[in-house]
Amino acid sequence: MTESPPSPLFQPLSRRTLLKLFGVGTLGGLVSYSRIAKPQPALHEQDALTLPRRLDRAGTAIVVGGGLAGLTAAYELSQRGFAVTLLERSPQLGGKIASWPIQVNGEDFITEHGFHGFFPQYYNLWGLVDELSIRNNFRELPTYAVLYKDKYDPEIFKPRRSAFPWNVVDLAVGSPNNLRWGLNLTKWEHWKVLQDIAGFDPQKSFKRLDHISVADWVAEDFPQGLYEVYFLPFAKSSLNSPDLLSVAELTQFFHFYFFGNPEGLAFRGTRQDMGRSLVDPIAAAIIAAGGEIVTEASITGLDWEEGRITGVRYQKGNTGTTAPFWVDLNPLLGDDRSEYFGAGDAVYALSPDGQEALSLTCTHQGCTVQPQGEAGYVCPCHGALFGPSGSVEGGPARRNLSRFRVLDRQGDRLQLVALNPAATEAEVPVTADYYVMAADVVGMRNIFALSQGEVHPRVQQQVQSLAVSDPFATVRFWFDRDFPWAYSDFTSLSGYRLTDSITLYHHIQDDYQAWAERTGGSVVELHSYCYKERDFPTQADLLATFEQELYEIVPELAGATLIHRQFVNQKNFSGFPPNSDRDRPSTSSLVPNLLFAGDWVKMPFACGLMERAVSSGFLAANAICQQEGLQRRPLLSVNPVGLLAPLTSAEPEVLQAQAEPPDLATPDTIEPETLG
């Protein structure tokens, strides 16, 4: 038996090299980051003085958007004595974590957009959970795995509570792929990668790296195995593809989830759907504090005067299409005779005369119907049939496809309004002292496009410059049998054309567990975080690929009976492309009575996904409390900067630049076992 060659990761390095790379102060910091004395959460916005917590006068606030950010802002303000009105366009609250009822073979279920993991460093979200006394709505998931289609062995992560650099040491020792990382610490370029990701600094990292995409960054001399094993699957879980993700955002993401996180990779899931587990308790607390929640409220106007917001107008209806909105051309779906606008489950077919557009959103369960030439349209999910004009001709749908009038066309953008909207109430004007705008990026753009009066030009420009990431898709399958599974109940996947993760709902959520125990079946969900539309231009392509890859991932299901599938496909997640940080608005805007909340705002500390949404909502409420002389809510985060931040330069990185390599030839070496 031959001995494997030593990995370059563990080759001895000279003292001179280590001191040059880290510096004496940093080496001291390494020692202080022991397994016993870990970093504690950092405090943000803790007032030095003790101030009143509640208003002593009548104060009002309007929150637009009922996702996690808007719900959090409305909750905090309602607890502080503000009369809060929350306006949400959809029938359900929750935004990207919304839940809604479906039927499967005559049985009632609640479904949602996809699995969400709750990590222990979601300090502000867990603080909210504890205030609501709902921690029992969550269950610990004991392991987390990444499964690769080829080349690499599965990575199994168990909860560890070690901080950087010990978490990296644990990872290196425990990884079955460590000899394939391609990491060579005798190369300056590879040390530089470590310095970038372990040296996150909110100011310097964005100045230095925000103009570079992750794809371009790793195209340099980057450890290829390390990228494929860890960077690619984890980067895509940010819901942004590497070619459209800023390196600065990636370093913030990795700092929050790994390099600056002392809590390990343990996480929890909800015992039921996100609605019952989290959204409904927050909404109940808002109402109990005297707040008002209005769903199916479409914003029809945003009124301005002298650069300030003076009011919001909305209509309440069951379609959410009473207000004009803009959609972009989708060149992947069109041909010489037809033009299509929008993406995901919001696609519109323009009539030949350019005067009308037909919504291709199936009125059964929201999938996008597919053109069938002169025969009309068919839904790829459940077989609903529609004629060329959108009239129902067969299948489970009961309502015709919606029709829209073209109000305006500006190049590749259309402004549409419902042609024959369902009955709606009259337009309702509402005013308040403060306005928190917490819709998703698509909603924010459309709302600000309805502005009337003296709009603040810089704020308008900031909103319109917000980016949307590539579409996401999930499909949930019900089968008549279970199957063996050696990995975690939520497992990341890598190397597949479309699928990024698999979730076994019949192992996690109570209702699905009960159904599986009663029937012997299983419920499996596949998730694609950010696919390319050119590769999957239609939902029929997505569904076919999902099913093909499911049987590759779980061959035992190939002979099972598929009972039902539930499909979600949208293009509304927040984008973080290169050069977007400069124009990204913060929670406090340039308009005193206008606040922003959402996972798309610029944050003063590292956070991600749901924690970013919750923290932004609290920050918006804090900004209002500060204007009113009230005590701000202390917020927690992981360490503000990475351990190697003192070495981080603020000078913009230039790709292909040749840095002076460290001196690796000095015979005075430090053996690996002495580094601890």
Q: What does 517-547 look like in DSSP terms, one character per residue?
A: HHHS-EEEEEEESS--TTT--SHHHHHHHHH
Q: Tell me, what's the pLDDT at 25?
A: 42
Gyration radius of the chain's alpha carbons? 26
Residue 191 phi/psi, 5-degree rounding, is: -60, -35
Rounded percentage of the chain residues whose pLDDT exceeds 70: 89
Q: Tell me, what's the pLDDT at 422?
A: 62
CATH 1.10.10.10 for domain 40-135+267-322+421-470+578-642, yes or no, is no
* pLDDT less than 50: residues of the chain: 1-32, 320, 657-676
pTM of the entire structure? 0.87
Count CB atoms within 10 A of the CB of residue 534. Answer: 8
Q: Respond yes or no on whether the N-terminal peptide bond of residue 165 is cis (omega within 30° of 0).
A: yes
Q: Tell me, what's the pLDDT at 657?
A: 46
Q: How far apart are CA 538 and CA 473, in angstroms?
A: 11
Residues 6+ apart with CB under 8 A from 422: 317, 318, 319
Mean pLDDT (the chain) is: 87
Q: Tell me, what's the pLDDT at 37?
A: 63
* Size of the chain, expressed as the number of residues it contains: 676
Virtual CA dihedral for 193, 196, 199, 201, nearest 10 degrees? -170
Q: At what angle do helices 68-79 and 280-288 cross, to 10 degrees?
A: 30
